[in-house]
Structure 1
């Protein structure tokens, strides 16, 4: 056997050894998070998996639903919910000791169908007139804990037009209002900007104006009893890093915060 063959054999053996070590060290990280992060995390997950060899299993649902599941004892490795929810989970010993890391924020915003003229929502009064002039609107059912729906309902109440809006409002269970706008089933949709931007059939008008608006800050932390603390920390560090920040921004989020 010549020297070249021996070198190739040695390289192959080394590669096999490295792969086996990576396989032995690889961990499955269970992530529990809000449906509002779906588009960003679905894109970021394979990047993280390729970099680390770890596998992500991500559970999406309304933030309030996910928080209840954790409080009821559901197991997770990494939890990413609103900052207030994470602080509450920490106070109830559902998170490992350490800092909660702000990952990304998204403002509650208005959407119209792609190609439609953007209505004026520059001031609360302009937004009020836009809502009154609209034939139909959709947002998440606040009774189900949808964050954007809670903000939308509160804004409409503060504008004093709850009764006028009721007959032309469609409540959806989660992040579906941009889809209804895209299909032409409703004229306006209120949702997180992160739920609007990735939808090709709609366009972002902008955040709800002034004090009517709300920025939802999503923060991540390691659960109290993770299967792999190191893999969980690696994910938190990755989501708070520069590469993730650029992808979050492209999906309608404000990175970090």
Structure 2
């Protein structure tokens, strides 16, 4: 009976998986790394589709997608990058949704002496790490906040631009800079930094993470399935636990 039982078990396993299971390539902002790595296995278990992630600066990922990289979905840290892909026909129609928001915080090395109590205190730092303010969303948001505070001209010569927000965090962790502006979700992942102060939402540009399935990937159905999965209650709980602000309530995506 045992061989028969094993055969039945295998049959049930394979019939439970979709016949057209695919492997999706997901481009995603570096700040979503921890959350998506946690969600990946749950997505595969729920849908049968495998998933591979490419994390990085949203600006760089958008350039790769425009150049022909076969990503099946894109979770961007700002709307501008997805706007660009949408204009050139790379977004599957009807799949785009604003998924998350975040907050900016100023971090210093955990063992740093002294205190930064507010924006004006940043004038005293010698080096300030930002994700590249000319391109990377976290840096663009940080620059927008500093411009609104009237501090950008004074601080620009002190800025150490980083490849992405995780690289800016790493610069603070290593002590190579005195402070950095990163997302609250990234600061929460590190024991090597402490938050000096949070940037009030009213002072910072609106931070939005849109997601969409892309049109030129090799696994279009898996891309759509992943976008749907990110809107489920289970995924929303993971994002919230990681410190993201979860937007909306009604799932979209055909």
TM-score, scaled relative to structure 1: 0.82
TM-superposed deviation, 1:29: 0.5
Structure 1 position 233 matched with structure 2 position 219: no
Higher helix share: 1
Equivalent position SS for 2:190: coil
Structure 1 position 193 matched with structure 2 position 190: no
Does structure 1 conserve the Cα–Cα contact (< 8 Å) formed by 2:74 and 2:213? yes
2-structure distance, mates of 1:248, 1:203: 21
Structure 2: stretches of 5+ with no match in the other structure: 249-254
TM-superposed deviation, 1:249: 1.9
Does structure 1 conserve the Cα–Cα contact (< 8 Å) formed by 2:99 and 2:211? yes
CA RMSD of superposed structures (Å): 2.6
Matches within 5 A, 1:11-50: 11-21=5-15, 22=17, 24-50=19-45
Does structure 1 conserve the Cα–Cα contact (< 8 Å) formed by 2:145 and 2:205? no
Does structure 2 conserve the Cα–Cα contact (< 8 Å) formed by 1:113 and 1:181? yes
The verdict on how the C-alpha distance between 1:105 and 1:163 changes in structure 2, with shifts beyond 3 A counting, is: closer
TM-score, scaled relative to structure 2: 0.83
Bigger radius of gyration: 1
The verdict on how the C-alpha distance between 1:163 and 1:240 changes in structure 2, with shifts beyond 3 A counting, is: same
- Deviations 1:28-69, CA, capped at 9 Å, x for gaps: 011122222222212211222233332111112211122222
Does structure 1 conserve the Cα–Cα contact (< 8 Å) formed by 2:108 and 2:195? yes
The verdict on how the C-alpha distance between 1:25 and 1:12 changes in structure 2, with shifts beyond 3 A counting, is: farther
Choose the corresponding residue for 1:106, options 98, 102, 108: 102
State the aligned residue count. Answer: 244
TM-superposed deviation, 1:163: 4.8
Does structure 2 conserve the Cα–Cα contact (< 8 Å) formed by 1:89 and 1:95? yes
